[in-house]
């Protein structure tokens, strides 16, 4: 298990466009394993390679069912709309209100280079959009309708405590 350091949005690497993955080798597999470890350690839903300082088109997502590894992912279809809360491991302690598609279909390669398609709804569709934006150097705060106020953040923290 190896954890990578999660960079915050003030780092320039988070604002650059990532290059496609061309080598599906040991180095990619190590990156994917480390990204999954880092994601679970941070209790996040998704993590994109630039968040750990790697400018490659690699994303890991786990919305609670299974780990998805997306290499060179593209959104090929969307449907509907949802407006709700969004946060980012690179923007710690903050949340915003963001409108995303209700459903999204992604085409991507797995760790061995095989292409596949995956559908996501609600949280997964939101995660697809959020994480793929990272690969083009974009952070959700750029598209948020607004950020939560200090009072709203406090309410959210209290609600999360009640859940635990
Ligand atoms: Zn993010």
What is the distance in A from the centroid of ligand 1 to the CA of 141? 9
Residue with tokens 């974009």: 138
What is the distance in A from the centroid of ligand 1 to the CA of 80? 22
Cα angle for residues 51, 70, 23 (degrees, 5° grid): 90
Of these residues, 11, 81, 131, 164, which one is catalytic? 131
Domain assignment of residue 1, yes or no: no
What is the distance in A from the centroid of ligand 1 to the CA of 41? 15
Domain assignment of residue 4, yes or no: no
- How far is Cα 132 from Cα 55, in angstroms, rounded to an integer? 13
Domain assignment of residue 21, yes or no: yes
Domain assignment of residue 2, yes or no: no
Domain enclosing residue 74, as ranges? 12-163
CATH number at residue 132: 3.90.45.10
Domain assignment of residue 3, yes or no: no
Domain assignment of residue 5, yes or no: no
- How far is Cα 14 from Cα 38, in angstroms, rounded to an integer? 17
What is the distance in A from the centroid of ligand 1 to the CA of 35? 13
Tell me if 2 sits within 8 A of 33, measured CB to CB: yes
pTM: 0.95
Domain assignment of residue 67, yes or no: yes
Query: Tokens at residue 112, please?
Result: 């061995």
| 4-28 pLDDT tens trace | 999 999 999 999 999 999 999 999 9
Average pLDDT, the chain: 96
Q: Reply yes or no on whether 131 is catalytic.
A: yes
Domain count, the chain: 1
Tens of pLDDT along the chain (164 residues) come to: 699 999 999 999 999 999 999 999 999 999 999 999 999 999 999 999 999 999 999 999 999 999 999 999 999 999 999 999 999 999 999 999 999 999 999 999 999 999 999 999 999 999 999 999 999 999 999 999 999 999 999 998 898 888 76
The number of residues in the chain equals 164
């Amino acid at each position: 298990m190896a954890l990578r350091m999660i960079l915050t949005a003030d780092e320039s690497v988070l604002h650059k466009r990532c290059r496609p993955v061309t080598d599906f080798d040991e180095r990619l597999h190590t990156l994917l394993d480390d990204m999954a470890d880092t994601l679970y350690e941070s209790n996040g839903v998704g993590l994109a390679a630039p968040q750990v300082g790697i400018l490659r088109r690699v994303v890991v997502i786990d919305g609670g069912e299974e780990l998805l590894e997306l290499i060179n992912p593209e959104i090929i279809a969307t449907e509907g709309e949802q407006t709700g809360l969004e946060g980012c491991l690179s923007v710690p302690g903050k949340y915003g209100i963001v409108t995303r598609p209700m459903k999204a279909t992604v085409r991507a390669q797995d760790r061995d280079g095989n292409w596949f398609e995956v559908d996501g709804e609600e949280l997964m569709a939101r995660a697809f959009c959020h994480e793929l934006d990272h690969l083009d150097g974009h952070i959700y705060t750029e598209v948020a309708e607004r950020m939560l106020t200090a009072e709203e953040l406090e309410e959210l923290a209290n609600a999360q405590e009640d859940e635990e």
